[in-house]
Structure 1
Amino acid sequence: MPYGYTGNILHVDLSFKKHWIEHLPENFYRTYWGGKALALYYMLKEMKPHTDPLSPDNLLIFAPSVITGTPAPAIPRYTVCAKSPLTGAEGEAEAGGWWGPELKKASFDAIIIKGSSKTPVYLWIKDGKVEIKDAAHLWGKDTGETQKIIKNELADDKIRIAQIGPAGENLVRFANIVNELKHFNGRNGLGAVMGSKKLKAIAVRGTKPIELYNKERVSQITKEITKRVMDNPLSRGLRELGTPAVVRGFYEAGCLPSYNWTTGYFKEGENLTAETYNKTILKGTKGCYACPIRCKRVVEINEPELKVDPAYGGPEYETIASLGSLCGISDLKYIAKANELLKTPLMDKSLGLNIILDE
């Protein structure tokens, strides 16, 4: 087996509550490296044309890259692919965080899910072992409640959980998938596909290191790349200000989407900048697996009538526009609260808001 892979693809048929492991040869990986390439191969091979995106015949595929889970810096991402209920075409969405690396360390290069359970379930994957567990008690619960219950139920706080919220359960066509409450597979309504399969969550725990051809050389390259990344002023700016750093540029250029797209000028734009963010609502920062940048914002607000839980992270640049200037709101505290309220049911904050405003 090529280094960087496990050689194992997990197949799950929820209609029949069964699963099996496919062992792939080296020449497959030399053609389809992982991630989107691997996912699209299986979609084209195993899914019939004209498949209804919300039918049991749609495939839902989770696939990390070849580098995910190694010490390589700033590359912890994985792709989710399915036929999109929003567009009717191939839909994909990436996410960072820790879930993708955990899946690789649990001995799988991808999960391919088909069928639909009659009752809510979740997958429990640990070091190559797989269980399909009842999730009736989780259905209808928000993301924070679900994560807490699963971790308590499985008695392991190091479990990484990808899940849907009530939006996905109710087949909202712009529902998202999230891992660790703050890393999103957004766009294309993949949360609705997961909901159509009655799959509430995928909990993963992996303790097996990924085999590397030359650990010493990988370690050396990792140090070199990490230094180059952190010597770059863009990386340092992202570490200090996060993605909200771009808000100032849009605001000063007069192209910050405002008042339901009627203008690009927002008079109170200074209140939405990353500098103001850092001074007012920022509690700290967090990073994804093996990433030195740590761009994720963590917000906590403890006002009596306005509490924001730091477990949900904080608003990113697009959220600041969609929940802020587009709505004529210039107070980051209220934007942060709205951000949390949309994260718990897991609706796409940009598309969902545009639909609401158009209505």
Structure 2
Amino acid sequence: MRRGDLDGLYWLGAYAIPGVNLPNRFPLTDPPAPDPVLARVYIRALVDVLSQVAVWANPMPAHIYRALVNIRPHAERFAPDRVPQIDSLLAFVTSRLSPRAIAEAEQRDLERVSPETEKIEDLELRAQLARDEKIHDDLMARAAYLALTGKDFERALRLAAKLKDRGVRAELRDLIHLRAAAELSERGQWEHAAEQALAIEQPERLAVAVAGVLQKLSDKDRAALLIAQAQARIERLQTSAAKGRAFLYLAGPVMSFDVDQGRFLLSRAIEMFNATRADLNGAREAAIRIETGDFATGSVVGSYDLSSVVIEAFKKLAKADPELIQALPLAARWESAEIRAIAQAAIARSLLERVR
């Protein structure tokens, strides 16, 4: 199916869910309330079509990612039964898109919501004059996000700090730190990138950001310091599924520098998974979602399916442990039969690759 074939379906969103921000149409500033039945029917039809397109598309078009991210909040409200399908599809789509393509798609969404003539200074001034807290936060969030898309991270953080809603403020700050860490590591500004990654509050987001910085690092001393700081931040948290997932995200990248340390983090992840009976469905709480009146944005962080993360970690461990003295016993420690089987299969695959 071509993009042109989907445009008609995207346009229908204006009627089914007024105000929805889908490709090929602009959201309304003050939309009327949607009809729940019509919205539910539309969401189901859209997700079904996007699923078919995503399976066959090569290369993956970024507009599918944009459509899924923007329809998800409405699915939570009108078609909650389709949310798991959307999450699974998002995981698949993001795995086939580059970080740059995702960032560009999110920036195009912002450009559709905010007119090009809109200035950060104007938004900030209007926010300061606003008497209503929701209007204030809507304007200030838009100003902060405009600064973020301009890669003025310090200014974006300063503006985000002025948000009155603590939840929105925390989400936006994490998004800024996440983007800043990725951008600064691309520039080779390792210390600043590490500072941004370590400032993230949500543990899985922090781990994903740190893992991204580690992938760009070649200096073992800098890597060791960053790993120690990240581990200390995560260890201070209470036992939770999020803590286990954070350790899991770090284990594989850390093994590239220090196999023993990576194995320790993998062991800690297994402890947390077993203690909380967590599965590999990933964490919806790690995804960033920001809504403030007219402005809305979001970002998928990490993966909704952590099977690939487990496989990567155990393949690296098996490669560094030719006799499998550490790898096999560690894989056997998973109490979940499903995860244990995935870990053992990763080791077996590593052995086959070694024979070849």
Q: Normalising by the residue count of structure 2, what TM-score does the alignment of the two structures yield?
A: 0.31
Structure with more strand by fraction = 1
Structure with more helix by fraction = 2
Which structure exhibits the higher relative contact order, with contacts defined as CA atoms closer than 8 Å and separated by 6 or more residues? Answer: 1
Q: Which has the larger radius of gyration?
A: 2
